[in-house]
Structure 1
Amino acid sequence: MSSDEHWSPEEEDSQVSKLARKSRDAPFVPIGLAGCFAVVGYGLYKLKHRGNKKMSVHLIHMRVAAQSFVVGAITLGVIYSMYSDHIKNQSGSGSKK
């Protein structure tokens, strides 16, 4: 094993830098997670004032709302990625001809 292949901690990315890089690459994922936590927090806050609604029904509604927010954010991210990769490139290459 040569000295070039020696591992050093400076070569590795820290967890914070990995998270920051992935957030720049796919900004809708952290937005979806933040929305999920917001919906869960709001659902837990409203748990005391749910009235005569059963606990299981309240938790199911909270779960569906949180999942919907995450899936919606990821879907918007995929649509934006498709737009930036394909449609922008096609319109940019058409003007160069």
Structure 2
Amino acid sequence: MSSSSYEENESKFMQKAKENPFVPIGMAGFFAIVAYRLMKMKSRGDTKMSVHLIHMRVGAQGFVVGAITVGVLYSMYNDYILKPREQQKAVADK
């Protein structure tokens, strides 16, 4: 992989992160929950491995779905509430 394609991929990721900041938040939360649950695996006690892994997956997926939901609500707020207000102000100023 050449350095120019690496820089291009990095800029695409940063551009997408600026458009929707909840994607990196969701990814970070996913990895944080998985890391926490993997560290906690030593002290799981009598809990079966499969149950522990299911709880880890549900927690991580729940965080990602929550981040996506908040991102969609934020996007809808910007598109349907803030932009019409700005347009109304621009028309009123003319």
Shorter-chain TM band: 0.7 to 0.9
| 1:58 maps to 2:52 | yes
In the alignment, the residues of structure 1 paired with residue 33 and residue 83 of structure 2 have an alpha-carbon distance, to the nearest angstrom, of 37
Residues 1:19 and 2:13 aligned together: yes
The answer for unaligned runs of 5 or more in structure 2 is none
Alignment match, 2:38: 44
- Counterpart for residue 27 of structure 2: 33
Extract unaligned runs of 5+ from structure 1: 1-9
Counterpart of 1:14 in 2: which secondary structure?
A: helix
Root-mean-square deviation over aligned CA pairs: 2.1
Identity %: 56
TM-score w.r.t. the length of structure 1 is 0.82
Tell me, what secondary structure is at the counterpart of 1:31?
helix
